[in-house]
């Protein structure tokens, strides 16, 4: 049985494994590698702060994910299927690594955030 997410080091491990999957994913990988042309060290550092704040309220994240996704959507339109795939990969990664209250909470936060972004993009 996997243990629960306990701290920032667990967030870092989760984010790293998740984005290793994303980079090569046939459905959404191109958004990161071709459309956004992600600077991976910079992006990962932001994602560590984002998820650390989302789960542990660390206050370390400063950014505007809505605007980032709007800009990306302008370059290459995103669909509900793209969001579903992102959430599937994220949940699978969490489930592969962790189990418990925080693991369930981070999956729920991911779904909620994706839903809010979709509402704004697809209205």
Residue percentage of the chain with pLDDT more than 70: 100
Residues 93-111: what's their mean pLDDT? 98
Say how far apart CA 4 and CA 100 lie, in whole Å: 5
Say how far apart CA 38 and CA 46 lie, in whole Å: 12
Contact yes or no for 89/25 (Cβ under 8 A): yes
pLDDT score, position 1? 79
pLDDT tens-digit map of 17-50 = 999 999 999 999 999 999 999 999 999 999 999 9
Domain ranges of the chain: 8-121
- Residues 6+ positions from 58 with CB-CB distance below 8 Å: 8, 49, 52
pLDDT at 123 over 90: no
CATH code that applies to domain 8-121: 1.10.490.10
Contact yes or no for 98/2 (Cβ under 8 A): yes
Residues 105-120: what's their mean pLDDT? 96
């Amino acid at each position: 049985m996997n243990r629960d997410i306990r701290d920032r080091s667990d967030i870092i491990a989760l984010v790293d494994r998740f984005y290793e999957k994303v980079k090569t994913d046939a459905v959404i990988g191109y958004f990161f590698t071709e459309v956004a042309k992600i600077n991976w060290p910079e992006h990962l550092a932001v994602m560590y702060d984002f998820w650390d704040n989302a789960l542990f309220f660390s206050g370390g994240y400063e950014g505007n994910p809505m605007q980032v996704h709007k800009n990306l959507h302008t370059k290459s339109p995103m669909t509900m299927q793209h969001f579903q795939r992102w959430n599937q990969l994220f949940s699978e990664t969490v489930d592969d690594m962790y189990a418990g209250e925080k693991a369930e909470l981070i999956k729920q936060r991911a779904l909620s955030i994706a839903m809010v972004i979709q509402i704004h993009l697809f209205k």
